[in-house]
A and B are shown apart, each in its own frame.
Chain A
């Protein structure tokens, strides 16, 4: 079968074409069906690969410990229980850490998006000297792993000072390590987690909006600021929501910035609590259950439950806002 005969029926109606060509009908439909089956198998396999750990965690988290060791139980727990959830919630210090995490994620995401939107709009619409240089700096911010400068930033905030003012006033520098001020400052100046990326995305998006809209506003005598606020911002809502969601979600699970710049003395953030979950479980087991080392199955159960608790809000957000998440990525994919 030559390639031409494969290609032609696709363009015209499939069945009419093939009825005339007799034997081709069967082969053709087998071909497409086969393709569809292979595609379905591949996609199903890959999707299963992604979903399986979550499903697995759900099943494990609902089991009692003895179900784990029962080989006749594979997925569905025989003795369903919520004990794991109560214990994990206690170990995570759920109420407090959930509140803290939600608050810090919301506040920093908001600040980051404001700063990034301003910068993105500035880069997209204005011409100013050194613009190329500053935009290269945005790219640099994307490329430089924050880990590279983390140690000096850490010290910067540990012995914080603005032009030596505090030292001359109080005799010593300020230790900002115990407050969330450093991270708020970083967020307000678009230096937070993956902020370079957001600037880039917002800029791409603004560039794709036709300039005639703004020009009309300028002709009507609007100032740059009011044009931005009244005309451009409403246009950019999809990308803003999108970036905000990313900022929120990534902040939610972030350990790096949280560990460095937020007060972690009592680590009341979900991400920090989760990463220290095994240790808290160990102390719990030692003090309350009188076990030196908790059984591994038990640890796995608690970790699974912990992960589920942490990602549950994110999954809910994703369920409702899935479209928004992809918006910004698609905008980046557009060529400039």
Chain B
């Protein structure tokens, strides 16, 4: 009966309308709580914002002043940005490699596999929100921590480091490796999702492919590069993007802290908006560059 009522409409337009109804809440939210604040925030980054009890928000146009201030005058921002980018590159590369390795391990058959998988996924839940760095986030502990690391008996790493540098190994390279080793904990904690994504990809590879590769005489090493890797490569992009976003949004991130500080403590809304847009552009650039590298550099299996 409803078909006759709506005879004027084709099935296609009706489906289209229904589709819009389904995404309506999202659309509304996106336009009101995303686009509007985004536009405002961009506009705000070009102004100086002052709050007053009488007129609410007062914005005076400032041109590029906030951006120029960030890059040329602010004493800490440039350094922070460079540090964060370097940290992001090394960390996300390490995360990808580690997550892939763990996924390969978990893809094998052994006792306690389910338990190991559950443990590796645990950080997704336990390293979120307030739980990140709650121990280290207050000044009292930070000072104490330094003392502890200096005087504590857990200095095997340091001893090894001095030993290796003394024996004439390249100090620069060693420092990078050493940095990675000391941050293994952070990397493992940040790779729960990526492991499961890789794992689910690995499980879609049919056994017959490996068998075929074996028949053709490829070694395990070769079939890893010829079979496993190409099939997994689309997931590399997914995981890379996820890792970068995750890294950029971490609350213990220096720049995030600075943005928050500018907003809530200094009440510098304009400057804080400018900082977050710079930061966002950097994030987008990093995502773009890394996806490009992965797309160009990795043979795809289609």
Residues of chain A touching chain B, judged by Cβ–Cβ distance below 8 Å, are 3-4, 6-8, 11, 36, 39-40, 42-43, 46-47, 49-51, 54, 115-116, 118-119, 121-123, 125-129, 131, 134, 137-138, 140-156, 159, 173, 185-186, 188-191, 199, 223-225, 228, 249-250, 252-256, 271-272, 274-275, 277-279, 293, 296, 299-300, 303-304, 306-307, 310-311, 314, 318, 322, 325-326, 329-330, 332-335
Contact = CB atoms under 8 A, between A and B. Distances in A.
Contacts of A318: 118, 122, 125
Given A145-B249, A254-B130, A314-B126, A152 B40 contact: yes
B116 A43 contact: yes
Given A118-B26, A322-B118, A311 B126 contact: yes
B130 A275 contact: yes
Contacts of A127: 12, 15-16, 19
Given A148-B276, A253-B128, A50 B189 contact: yes
Interface string B95-134: 0000000100100101000001111111111101111001
A159 B16 contact: no
B217 A275 contact: no
Interface of B: 2, 12, 15-30, 32-34, 36-38, 40-41, 44, 56-57, 102, 105, 108, 110, 116-126, 128-131, 134-135, 137-138, 140-141, 144, 184-185, 188-189, 193, 196-201, 204, 211, 214, 217, 219-220, 234-235, 238, 241, 245, 248-249, 251, 256, 259-260, 263, 269, 272-273, 276-277, 279-280, 283-284, 287
A128 B284 contact: no
Nearest to B16: A128
B29 A190 contact: yes
B4 to A, nearest CB: 13
A253 B24 CA distance: 29
A201 B83 CA distance: 33
Contacts of B108: 39
Contacts of A40: 110
Contact of B276 (A147, A304, A311): A147
A66 B46 CA distance: 56
Given A142-B245, A189-B33, A126 B120 contact: no
A49 B185 contact: yes
Contacts of B196: 326, 329-330, 333
A248 to B, nearest CB: 10
Given A151-B44, A333-B200, 17 more contacts: A36-B110, A46-B120, A122-B23, A128-B17, A128-B19, A128-B20, A134-B23, A151-B276, A152-B40, A186-B33, A188-B29, A189-B33, A191-B30, A255-B129, A255-B130, A296-B140, A299-B140
B44 A152 contact: yes
A35 B135 CA distance: 38
B280 A224 contact: no
A274 B129 CA distance: 11
Contact of B34 (A141, A293, A329): A141
A-B pairs, top 8 by smallest CB distance, nearest first, are A189-B29, A126-B19, A122-B22, A253-B129, A333-B200, A3-B219, A119-B26, A330-B200
Contact of B32 (A129, A189, A293, A314): A189
Contacts of B276: 145, 147-151
Nearest to A140: B34
A253 B277 CA distance: 26
A7 B263 contact: no
Contacts of B280: 144-145, 148
Contacts of A36: 110
